[in-house]
């Protein structure tokens, strides 16, 4: 049984890890708390950005000599390899840490082995404390390592009768101002925000983060097979954030020097796996898919949606497109079943978060 003091320290480490969301890719988010030999907290830290010091190093610096004989609580197994910074397992040993408690094992083949190194140096090591919470905060990075592609969170805002736009295509606004502000937080936690050419044509979306202090802007991506939807002057082309237009290998190069990636065609539009592969190669570990329904359907059909975040507004439209189109499901036995992991009231709306069963 874990002691309450251990739980308190690890919960703080998870909170700290969350502060790095959206800023650390291609690295994980990691939080660390250090207590001295008598159990008092003497250091804490988190990984702030790729290339910068790891969470353990920030915490050890704060703890100084008080770390000797103390305990380090880390949300992810301390790394064992020298990348842009030195191995954390070694730094903990050199600081004289007596015990290391970590939540989740490192699945990255290059970095794993930290626990073994610590044990070999005589450090007491325990794994698994609050592993559910630590896994949840790092789900994007963990998914990207396990699947070899970015984590995909599909977000939509719908009426209570499931419509994401009116019959004439207008959709501003279905959800409350509070929900829309919350979407900016989701964008800030993501490395890339993706929409289809239909949404680019209808809404001329901006897709950058507004109103989130210290946010690292995500890469704005428009999936525009024929390179015809993003016209010069489109809001997505301003300098608020970087932008990438995914176009077909044989499409005409768009004017205006915009950054493009050429991808193979699929049955309709572009290959979703090729898109995710191209984004992964660019360091993207988490994608916020903001629609519309046609592109979301293609992602679902490709098995490329890991989490669904639906904002349901107390609004009825009676006509207009549904949240999802053409997900490749024609009979009830093929329906995708999800587990609801969270429901929250946001303004006048309900935010429902769900993951695929068994994912
Ligand atoms: N309420 C919400 O949360 C929300 C969010 C977003 C959008 N919307 C609404 O949704 C509507 C637009 O939705 P939409 O379904 O027409 O457009 P969409 O999903 O944004 O874009 C669909 C287009 O993407 C392109 N595409 C590229 N690769 C594809 C692939 N593998 N599979 C499918 N399509 C691919 C296709 O056109 P090309 O091949 O010609 O490029 C396709 O027609 C608008 O009314 C907008 O206001 C609502």
Catalytic residue among 56, 77, 133, 189: 56
Active site residue 135: no
Q: Residue 84: its pLDDT value, please?
A: 64
| Two structure tokens written together for 342 | 């969270």
Give the pLDDT confidence score for residue 2 in this predicted structure: 67
What pLDDT is recorded for position 81?
Answer: 78
Q: What is the pLDDT of residues 86-141, one digit of tens each?
A: 789 999 999 999 999 999 999 987 767 899 999 999 999 999 999 999 999 999 99
Q: What integer pLDDT is reported at residue 358 of this predicted model?
A: 65
Cβ partners under 8 Å of residue 297, min gap 6: 324, 325, 326, 327, 328
pLDDT-derived band at 15, boundaries 50, 70, 90: very high
CA 219 to chain centre: 13
Work out the percent of the chain whose per-residue pLDDT is above 70: 97
> What percentage of the chain has pLDDT greater than the value 90?
89
Question: pLDDT tens-digit profile of 314-327?
Answer: 999 999 999 999 87
- Probe residue for ligand 1, chosen from 197, 287, 290, 296 as the CB with the greatest number of ligand atoms within 8 Å: 197
Please identify, by atom number, the ligand 1 atom nearest to the C-alpha of residue 171.
47
Q: Please tell me whether residue 328 adopts helix, strand or coil conformation.
A: coil
- How remote is the CA of residue 350 from the centroid of ligand 1, in Å? 24
The predicted-structure confidence for 262-288, as pLDDT tens digits, reads as follows 999 998 899 999 999 999 999 999 999
Look at phi and psi of residue 326 and say left if phi exceeds 0, alpha if psi is from -120 to 50, else beta.
left
- The predicted model scores a pTM of 0.94
Question: How much is the average pLDDT of 168-182?
Answer: 95
At 85 the pLDDT is 64
Helix intervals (H) in the chain? 4-18, 55-63, 88-94, 114-120, 131-137, 139-147, 177-188, 197-203, 272-281, 293-301
Is a pLDDT exceeding 70 seen at residue 166? yes
State the residue for tokens 């739980």. 7
Q: Decide: 291 in ligand 1 pocket, CB within 6 A.
A: yes
The tokens of 92 are what? 């903990």
Ligand 1: residue whose CA is nearest its atom 29:
269
pLDDT at 1 over 60: no
Predicted pLDDT of residue 108: 81
Gap between the Cα atoms of 129 and 54, Å rounded: 20
Distance, CA of 64 to CA of 48 (rounded, Å): 20
Question: What is residue 293's three-state secondary structure?
Answer: helix
Nearest to 353 by CA among 210, 206, 182: 182
């Amino acid at each position: 049984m874990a002691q309450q003091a251990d739980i308190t320290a690890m919960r703080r480490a998870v909170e700290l890890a969350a502060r790095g969301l959206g800023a650390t890719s291609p690295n994980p988010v990691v939080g660390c708390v250090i207590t001295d030999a008598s159990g008092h907290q003497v250091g804490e830290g988190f990984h702030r950005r790729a290339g910068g010091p790891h969470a353990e190093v920030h915490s050890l610096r704060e703890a100084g000599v008080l770390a000797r004989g103390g305990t380090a609580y880390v949300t992810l197994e301390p790394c064992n390899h020298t990348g842009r910074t030195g191995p954390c397992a070694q730094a903990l040993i050199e600081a004289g840490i007596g015990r290391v408690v970590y939540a989740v094992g490192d699945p990255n083949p290059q970095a794993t082995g930290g626990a073994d190194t610590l044990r070999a140096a005589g450090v007491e090591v325990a794994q698994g404390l609050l592993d559910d919470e630590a896994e949840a905060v790092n789900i994007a990075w963990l998914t990207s390592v396990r699947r070899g592609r970015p984590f995909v969170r599909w977000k939509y805002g719908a009426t209570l009768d499931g419509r994401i736009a009116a019959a004439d295509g207008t959709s501003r606004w279905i959800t409350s101002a509070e929900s829309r502000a919350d979407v900016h937080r989701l964008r800030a936690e993501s490395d890339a925000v993706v929409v289809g050419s239909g949404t680019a044509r209808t809404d001329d979306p901006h897709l950058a983060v507004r109103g989130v202090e210290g946010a690292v802007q995500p890469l704005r991506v428009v999936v525009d097979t024929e390179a015809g939807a993003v016209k010069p002057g489109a809001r997505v082309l301003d300098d608020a954030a970087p932008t990438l237009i995914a176009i077909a290998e044989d499409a005409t190069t768009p004017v205006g020097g915009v950054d493009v990636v050429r991808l193979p065609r699929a049955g309709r539009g572009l290959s979703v796996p090729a898109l995710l592969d191209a984004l992964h190669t660019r360091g993207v570990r988490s994608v916020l898919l903001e629609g519309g329904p046609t592109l979301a359907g293609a992602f679902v059909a490709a098995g490329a949606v890991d989490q669904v975040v639906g904002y349901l507004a107390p609004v009825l439209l009676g006509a207009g497109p549904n949240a999802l189109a053409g997900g490749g499901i024609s009979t009830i036995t093929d329906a995708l079943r999800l587990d609801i992991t969270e429901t929250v009231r946001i303004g006048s709306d309900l935010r429902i978060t769900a993951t695929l069963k068994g994912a």
